[in-house]
Amino acid sequence: MLYKHLSNDWNKWINEEVYIGITDHVPRHVAVHRMCTDGIFPFMKNAGYELYSSQQKVTKDILYCMYQYYKGSRPTIPNRQHVLLELFEQFHHIFDSDALLSFWDVWGSIEDFDTDGYAYRFRGELPFLVWNYINFDSSPVTTDILDDPDAAEMMKSPNDEALQDVLRDSTVKDRHLY
């Protein structure tokens, strides 16, 4: 993701103190870092997914998407190309609505994500953002799908119509579960 936040506003925003729960008051970047290192990354690892990008980069991108909501615009989260529909469906089977509810039961206490917070809308976007960082080749959970002899050929197609249809439908439906 491109960063256009080299402003004092960005620095002020990421260092602004926010509540986690009732008593814990920390800078925003610390709260989001905790959410990632204690919530998102362990969940992904336990589900059998490996990331191809550093945890620091993923955390920074999450902060940047939140910042865009803070500034009043909706972030553009790219849809990944060259991916099998089966991998997308598997991811959404693992990262389903029950998993999201459990996740937000814990991490929704960060002030920005509570029901009155501007980033509350970002709750439905988070899985789509994380999806972009999965390293399918090194993720144990994707081995069976990728071992299919037809998978390599199918992954060469950048415009898998079925996947693009699912992504379009997901954009309209799943991303607005708030």
Q: How far is residue 159's CA from residue 5's CA, in Å, rounded to a whole number?
A: 32
Q: Would you say residue 175 has pLDDT above 90?
A: no
Q: Would you say residue 92 has pLDDT above 60?
A: yes
What pLDDT, on a 0 to 100 scale, did the predictor assign at position 161? 60
Question: Quick one: what percent of the chain has pLDDT higher than 90?
Answer: 26
| pLDDT, tens digit, 9 for 90 and up, residues 30-75 | 999 999 999 999 999 999 999 988 999 999 999 999 998 888 888 8
| pLDDT, tens digit, 9 for 90 and up, residues 93-127 | 888 889 988 999 989 888 888 877 778 878 888 88
Of residues 51 and 161, more confidently modeled: 51
Compute CA distances 80 → 57, 76, 128, 146, whole Å.
17, 12, 9, 17
When the pLDDT of each residue in the chain is averaged and rounded to a whole number, the result is 79
Per-domain residue ranges for the chain?
8-176
What pLDDT, on a 0 to 100 scale, did the predictor assign at position 56? 93
Count of C-beta atoms within a 10 Å radius of residue 4 = 10
